[in-house]
Amino acid sequence: MDKTKIKLDILGLSYSQTQTGAYALVLGESEGKRRLPIIIGNFEAQAIAI
């Protein structure tokens, strides 16, 4: 199994239009092009925004 770690940056945080009360956190590679959207809850989104 490959245990390479990849540094990710927060690219954006927006209200999810597909799930009520959820937010989409978009992470992106620091040295690459790949993006990783993650659906999180309201409280987690508030904590990240602060």
Residue 23: how many CB atoms within 10 A of its CB?
Answer: 20
Q: Which tens digits make up the pLDDT trace of 9-36?
A: 999 999 877 777 899 999 999 999 999 9
What integer pLDDT is reported at residue 50 of this predicted model?
85
Q: Which tens digits make up the pLDDT trace of 34-44?
A: 999 999 999 99
Residue 1 pLDDT > 90: no
pTM of the model: 0.76
| 10, two tokens | 């927060």
